[in-house]
Amino acid sequence: MSAVEKAKAKVEQLAGTVKKETGRATGNDQTAAEGAGDKIMGNLREAKEKAKDAFRD
Mean pLDDT in consecutive groups of 10 residues from the start of the chain, 57 residues:
85 96 97 97 93 82
* Residue 57: per-residue pLDDT: 65
The model's pTM is 0.84
- Those residues whose C-beta lies under 8 Å from the C-beta of residue 16, and which sit 6 or more positions away, are 35, 36, 37, 38, 39, 40, 41, 42
CB 24 within 8 A of CB 32: yes
